[in-house]
Amino acid sequence: MQQLLTRLAFRAPLLPLTRAYADPNSVTSINNFASGLYLSSQPLYQEYQKINQLSKDDQEKLFRSVTKYQLRASTRCTPYATFAGLSIADVISDETAFVLSPQEQHHVKLRLDMNVVSQIVSKLYALPQVLQQLSFTVNNSLYKVYGGYRYAEYAIHNGQRKYQLNNLADTPYLCAIIQEAQTQKSFQSLSDILHQTINTTQEECDDYLRQLIKAQILVSNLEPPVTDKDPLEHLLLQLENLIGIGEIIESLRYVQSLLQCSVPDIAHLQSINAAIARIGLDISIANETLQADLFLSVRKAQINEHLIQSIVNQVEQLFPLSQVVRQPDLDEFKNRFIQRYEDQLIPLAQAIDSDLGIGYGNVRDELSAGTPLIEGLPIGMVMNNQTIEQTGLNALSLKKYEVWQKEKLPLIEITDEDVKHFAEQKKQKRFATSMSVMGSLFKQDNRLDEQHFVFDMSNVGGPSAGNLLGRFAYGDEQIVNLTRELLTAEETHDPDVIFAEVAHLPQARIGNILLRPLLRQYEIPYIGLSGASDENQIRLEDLWLKVDGNELILWSKRLNKRIIPRLTTAHNYSYQSLPVYKFLCDLQMQGLSFPAVWDWGILQSMQYLPRVIYKNIILRKARWIVTEKDFGNLADVQIDRNDKILDWRKANDIPERVIYAEGDYLQKKNGKNYFYYDNIYKIYFNLCPFDYLCTL
């Protein structure tokens, strides 16, 4: 049964589409655009300040670089630096209306890059007067094995954490420390416990503790949290009572005060970087010192409830076309678990351990982490030896494609009759309690109401409707309230289980997208600091696993409840994640189906594929694959690139306005526009061997 909330989130680019083709000089004078350019690429911004000193050729190259950001800031809604932002709209009975305030009224949320915070913490550890004033807990990846313990430790290689699984021999003094440090204990109290356990000097006890800290068996309270407080705020709270570092604390407080500015200009951003350099800890000031998110100010943001209901109804009518989420790692693990343990209840850590248990995914001998940010992942690439699973939806797409090709139709339309053939399959599928629908909304026949609209659907996501919002919940009270409202509604449907947020920090910089407020009552900390209270943290050693009715069940012995893990943020955890983390994230999707936006199956490598629609919903935009040979000798000889690309467009029936794979609009202006056509040329020949074009 549908339960629609009275609010929704929307995203918008910083600038209107009309500014996409303006003189770059007029755009770089806009404060938020200039800030975005500085935050994205300080070298590019600094070079642009000297543009009048450059040769004509160098000026044109620089203009081309800036226009890429200009296009993004005018056409792409994905929040990045200050080039796009988000806000909340009300779902009401009145007509739909979106009116943004002038861009100078938007507010920017600034924070230190998590890598900078991690550097500060690391430098503080090296200060003798600091270490012995800190509190410590046991590394939350540690678990008991026969004759000792195991835990995950990382070393830094080329700026990335590289993990390995370490063994510890069980000794009375190690056991005493581990038992005592289940909750935060001061360095001195742990040293005293050690002194009472073994007959040795206090100095030797202190040295032993330092070894445990260096080996990451003990983790300090300075570590940046993944949930709850801002990392710098958390750090200052932990440092405020420490003796001997007053100047450092004051420097950090000054940085914190500068970060409160919600309309920063370039001078302000530069002053923050200067203040970081003056902290006095020899922090490496790279280009990525700050994280910024833009939150939109609106004069009016409302959408008609009947229009929203129409979109949701049409999406729901597509549910028969749903496909079960394919999870080969989880399926293989479950089969091996059944073979080995049958219906036994087994500690999760033991089952995931590749030596003692089954292991998980591709990781066997060595733990590996280092997920790149989503921005850097390849989009739409087709692997040569990829195995494509044939499904009913693949068969439908092939059938529809053949009809489209034979009858020379302008597009492919999915009908209710097509969907009806899948109705029986829907009854056998299980759907998430809450889901989010994301897409772009357009007028139809210059009208926008429940009968007249076009919805370009990009994603139907889960397992929680809050996943896309969690990434931004830290920065705006409206967004965090909406996120919590969504999660509360979700949890009400399953009162007999505990939904637990996974708190994990695989790499320092990934913390920029993993950071979020406390969204749920319970959390599972794993190589990451949770902001939940001790009694609401479900530790690794308390998690057990069994199979019941062909379903993996995660269980907390302490709480005597089934645990459903959740990751309420937009982290792509599937690439090079630690086994425990990937398992917990995979488990949240177990057995679920989601409406397929569309699956071209074996047709996906075709050079051209038409638009696919269902009623008012665009399931797939028309798409071209472009290769270097499509432009002939464009890269080799000095010819009129504009004319060449125009000829190519006409030959392939490509409209004036298209989107390339990263989502930026590229459009002809007044028949000729060297910079924008030249950007097309640069994109195709310098960035990748082929790309996708699609059109609305």
Higher pLDDT, 12 or 366: 12
Per residue in 154-180, pLDDT (tens digit) is 998 888 889 999 999 999 999 999 999
Per residue in 511-528, pLDDT (tens digit) is 999 999 999 999 999 999
Instruction: Tell which phi-psi region holds residue 124, choosing left (phi > 0), alpha (psi between -120 and 50) or beta.
Output: alpha
DSSP state of 624: E
**pLDDT at site 473:** 94
Around 588, how many Cα atoms within 13 Å sit in the side-chain half-sphere?
24
Confidence class of residue 644 from pLDDT cuts 50, 70 and 90?
confident
pTM: 0.88
Gap between the terminal Cα atoms of the chain: 32
Tell me the average pLDDT across 409-427. Answer: 90
**pLDDT at site 681:** 45
**pLDDT at site 181:** 95
**pLDDT at site 604:** 87
Query: Looking at the predicted structure, is the pLDDT value of residue 379 above 90?
Result: no
**pLDDT at site 363:** 58
Helix (H, G, I), strand (E, B) or coil at 88: strand
360 within 8 A of 579, measured Cβ to Cβ: yes
What is the amino acid identity at position 395? Answer: A
Confidence class of residue 632 from pLDDT cuts 50, 70 and 90?
low
Residues 6+ apart with CB under 8 A from 562: 496, 497, 498, 553, 554, 555
Query: Looking at the predicted structure, is the pLDDT value of residue 74 above 60?
Result: yes
Percent over 90 (pLDDT), the chain: 63
Helices (DSSP H) in 278-324: which residue ranges?
305-317
**pLDDT at site 386:** 33
Q: How does DSSP assign 127-180, residue by residue?
A: -HHHHTT-EEEE-TT-EEETTEEEEEEEEEETTEEEEEEEEEE--HHHHHHHHH
Per residue in 220-263, pLDDT (tens digit) is 999 999 999 999 999 999 999 899 999 999 999 999 999 999 99
Dist CA 228 CA 686 (whole Å):
42
**pLDDT at site 663:** 39
Percent over 70 (pLDDT), the chain: 88
Round the CA-based radius of gyration of the chain to a whole number and report it: 27
Question: In Å, how far from its chain's centre is CA 426?
Answer: 30
DSSP state of 326: P
**pLDDT at site 312:** 93
- Please, what is the average pLDDT of the chain? 86
Query: Looking at the predicted structure, is the pLDDT value of residue 5 above 90?
Result: no
Per residue in 648-694, pLDDT (tens digit) is 778 888 877 777 654 343 433 333 444 444 555 444 433 333 334 44
Phi/psi of residue 46, each to 5°?
-65, -35
Beta-strand relationship, 430-431 and 592-594: parallel
Beta-strand relationship, 7-13 and 84-92: antiparallel
Query: Looking at the predicted structure, is the pLDDT value of residue 422 above 60?
Result: yes
Dist CA 624 CA 622 (whole Å):
7
Q: Which two tokens stand for residue 625?
A: 């694959």
Cα torsion 69, 73, 77, 79 to 10°: value is 70
Query: Is residue 690 classed exposed, middle or buried when 0-12, 13-18 and 19+ CB atoms within 10 A define those classes?
Result: middle
Confidence class of residue 645 from pLDDT cuts 50, 70 and 90?
confident
Tell me the average pLDDT across 538-552. Answer: 96
Dist CA 667 CA 659 (whole Å):
9
Confidence class of residue 268 from pLDDT cuts 50, 70 and 90?
very high
**pLDDT at site 660:** 67
